[in-house]
Amino acid sequence: MFQVLQGHIQPAPHRGRKTRLVTKDGRCNIEFGNIEYSNHFAYLLDFWTTFVEIRWRFVLLLFVASFTGSWFVFSLLWYWIAKSNGDLTGQNRTDGHVQCIDNVNGLTTAFLYSLETQTTIGYGGRALTGHCAGTVALIIIQSLIGVFINCFMCGVILAKISLPKRRAKSVTFSDTAVICLKKGSLCLLLRVANLRKTLLIGSQIYGKLLRTTTAPDGDTVILDQVDIDFMVDSGKDNLFFVCPLTLYHVINTSSPFYELSADSLPNQDFELVVFLDGTAESTSSSCQVRTSYIPQEIQWGFSFLPIISRTKTGKYRVDFSNFSKSVRVTTPHCVHCFETDADQKNHNSHNQENQDKQQKLGIDNLGFQVIDIHDSMDITKM
């Protein structure tokens, strides 16, 4: 039977403390253990992905260390060349001594020359004389390595800034999901909104239900995954994601929520993970947005408040203050209650149709007898 619930606005409840596989902001709560030591070299082989995915603090440390380290290493080489040629201060120089590098008289000046060379500053106080072949080869090597470091570090920083997951930060899901009637079916509803005016092209919505199950052979399966189909009124693929959308999943016999009821829902142990895949219109990069809901974040017998209205000037306005707010509505206590009530209504409707049909066709008179009438043989001729 239906629950008769008073209509009042229900704020979003506090987020549950249950351990999640996917957090509300889409991060995966998982760690890997007992990995063989040899497998760690795979991170070095895929060094580009490793550098792009590490935290910003390590990227900045790598940035400073790569440039400072290269300047210092080459300063030692310049110092060694100057010392071997007798260019340093305090070394005995003969008449007609030809220097390899001008004004490099110690380790400090060698470091400054290395920095000026790699950054192409060129103050003019220190320079090669061109009389030593080793200095020409070394400056070519340092220039090439400096260009490589510049390109690599700029690429890493640019790649981290333009990561698709940054675009996902401007897509948000409702804090809670609700279960209510929609188009004559009991459905699970949630909301998703794009906070930017640029569209996500080719958006697709789907979900995974994660739960612990027991296999027929008695083994416990942790994080067993079941597909959950979500739709909007216009379909489930290639969404026109210009304003907030209300996604719904029809709870029928093929749904894993079919056996749930308003009383048993809070006591369940599962995690509903919802995914949204799309391509950013401005950068053409693919991104994925994730969130999760536990049973305590699913409200039975509630419906979302409307958030889209039209202003006097003809513009459409979205009120995000009601984005996650819901209101109580009349909802079946369980799916079986809804189907039983629907079958009873259909049965009553079918009986009424039969009665109307009988009234139209009339009622058989059982006392009526059929008599055969034979044609008379007399024919009267005019």
Q: What is the pLDDT of residue 335?
A: 80
Q: Would you call 107 exposed, middle or buried from its count of C-beta atoms within 10 A (0-12, 13-18, 19+)?
A: middle
Sequential DSSP letters for 159-201: HHHT-HHHHHTTEEE-S-EEEEEETTEEEEEEEEEE-SSS-EE
Q: Would you call 101 exposed, middle or buried from its count of C-beta atoms within 10 A (0-12, 13-18, 19+)?
A: buried
Measured CA to CA, the distance from residue 225 to residue 42 in angstroms comes to 29
- Give the helix/strand (H/E) hosting 146: helix 133-161
Measured CA to CA, the distance from residue 275 to residue 364 in angstroms comes to 63
Please check whether residue 271 is in contact with residue 21, taking contact to mean a CB–CB distance below 8 angstroms: yes
Strand, coil or helix: what is 111? helix
Give the residue extent of every domain in the chain.
39-90+98-162, 167-335
Q: What is the pLDDT of residue 137?
A: 92
The residue type of 211 is R
Classify domain 39-90+98-162 by CATH architecture.
Orthogonal Bundle (1.10)
Q: What is the pLDDT of residue 49?
A: 83
Q: In this structure, how many other beta carbons lie within 10 angstroms of the beta carbon of residue 223?
A: 12
Measured CA to CA, the distance from residue 6 to residue 8 in angstroms comes to 6
- pLDDT tens digits in sequence order for the chain, 382 residues long: 444 444 444 444 444 456 788 888 878 877 777 666 556 666 677 778 888 888 889 999 999 999 999 999 999 999 999 888 887 877 777 777 788 888 888 899 999 999 999 998 878 788 888 888 889 999 999 999 999 999 999 999 988 887 777 777 788 899 999 999 988 889 999 999 888 877 788 788 889 999 888 777 777 777 888 899 888 875 555 677 778 888 899 998 888 898 888 888 888 889 999 998 888 877 777 888 889 999 999 999 999 998 888 888 888 888 888 888 899 998 888 887 777 765 555 544 555 555 555 555 555 555 555 555 555 444 444 4
Same fold, 39-90+98-162 and 167-335: no
Instruction: Report the CATH number of the 167-335 domain.
Output: 2.60.40.1400
